[in-house]
Amino acid sequence: MSERSTTRLPAGLRLPFDPLLALAVIGLMVASLVTLDASTSNDVPGDPHFYVMRQGVFFAIGMVVAIVLSRIDYSRLRELKYGVYGLMLASILLVAVFGGITRGSRRAIQLPFFEVQASELGKVLLVVALAAFAVDRSRRLGERDTTARLVLVAMIPAIFVMSSDLGSGLVYVAILFAVMFVAGVSWRHFAGLIALGGIAITLVLSVAPALGVTVLEKYQSDRLTSFLYPSDDPGDAGYQQNQSRIAIGAGQKTGRGDQASQTRLKFLPEARTDFPYASVGERWGFAGAGLVLSLYALLVWRGLRILTLAKNLYGALIAGGIVAMLLFQVFVNVGMNVGIMPITGIPLPLLSYGGSSVITTLLAIGLLQSIYAQGRVAAATKGRGLSF
């Protein structure tokens, strides 16, 4: 089957999308709206549903885009790799030059209705472009030159993003490693890259400051190290994680409901963006927090299943990059909520408030659904059984 051909699902196929993936997405969206309604009702005087309504609009826009994308053959995007990569770099540089300054860094361009974070959209664009570049050199994946090129393609935007948004930059690195892993890059190359990464971290956190060279701003280095000893500075760097752990611990098994004082009285900072998981834990306890994690587990499982169903290498690489993007964000965000990871500002996919994060995640879901549908078409055409 030509990758450029337009394919339609045979009439015998029951659904043109993965129902379990859709269930996980809808469940997380409902959880986000319910959590926002509980944690932000007093944030805007006279408008208790301000953030809930806006988040609902973001979900609606994202779902429309995801549905449209799921009906398109994703393989066509391979031909647009240079344009996709150029769009990603241009948007990141545009924010670096014209973006508004928030908490000492430029992360977004303010529009009338919401902020556009190019680093969020860049995650999906990087997956699409990097997968295409990897497929183009699929017969030379064992060569160091191929690995070097893939690293260069991913690290150019990652470095620009890290200068203002360290967390998102780390997501780019996770995408790079996932695409290379699925593509079959040599383990020796992975070992070399990990060693180089360790050296770079040592230089940034230890050697450079000792020599008087500033690589990270003080607030950035404090965020990266405060989680190790949050009680040493409970009023500043360790405050957020201390309050988050208190909120989760207070929820116990079934939560405190309307008595969730950490969230209601605003002791928990950034409850709608960085710490929604702590809000869930305090209000609905272990039961609610476990349900949210179960939905993420379902999301990741279906993403991995779609990877195996992809009709070609390009689809498998896109699915692998998306799964890594989502899994890394969930691991880091939940980890910083419970105090085992540094605070990096990485949003919790579909649960955190924010238009850029929500729409980007739903774009990724649309791509997964496209890979699923095209894979089922290819399997039906070749006469293979369609396993669920």
Residue 155 inside a domain? The answer is: yes
User: From residue 3, how far is each of 128, 311, 377 by CA, in Å?
Assistant: 15, 10, 12
CA 279 to chain centre: 20
pLDDT of residue 12: 45
pLDDT of residue 150: 95
The residue type found at 359 is I
Report the residue count for the chain.
388
Three-state SS at 104: coil
* Local structure of residue 206 (DSSP, 8 states): I
Three-state SS at 266: coil
The residue type found at 224 is L
pLDDT of residue 366: 97
User: From residue 9, how far is each of 14, 198, 278, 376 by CA, in Å?
Assistant: 9, 47, 42, 8
Residue 85 inside a domain? The answer is: yes
> 104 is in which domain, residue-wise?
19-185+217-381
Residue 174 inside a domain? The answer is: yes
Residue 89 inside a domain? The answer is: yes
pLDDT of residue 62: 96
**In angstroms, rounded to a whole number, what is the distance separating the alpha carbons of residues 102 and 229?**
26
- Total number of domains in the chain: 1
Residue 135 inside a domain? The answer is: yes
Residue 208 inside a domain? The answer is: no
Q: Is 152 exposed, middle or buried (0-12, 13-18, 19+ CB in 10 A)?
A: exposed
pLDDT of residue 225: 62
Question: Tens digit of pLDDT for each residue in 19-28?
Answer: 999 999 999 9
> Please, are residues 203 and 320 in contact by the beta-carbon 8 Å criterion?
no
- From the first residue on, what is the mean pLDDT of each consecutive set of 10 residues in the chain (388 residues)? 45 71 97 91 83 94 95 94 95 80 65 78 96 92 89 94 86 96 91 88 71 62 61 62 84 82 74 89 92 97 96 96 97 90 88 93 97 89 61
Residue from 167, 164, 155 nearest 224 by CA: 167
**In angstroms, rounded to a whole number, what is the distance separating the alpha carbons of residues 255 and 284?**
4
Residue 314 inside a domain? The answer is: yes
The residue type found at 114 is F
Three-state SS at 280: helix
The pTM assigned to this predicted structure is: 0.88
pLDDT of residue 309: 93
Three-state SS at 18: coil
Residue 298 inside a domain? The answer is: yes
Residue from 57, 67, 118 nearest 92 by CA: 118
**In angstroms, rounded to a whole number, what is the distance separating the alpha carbons of residues 178 and 190?**
11
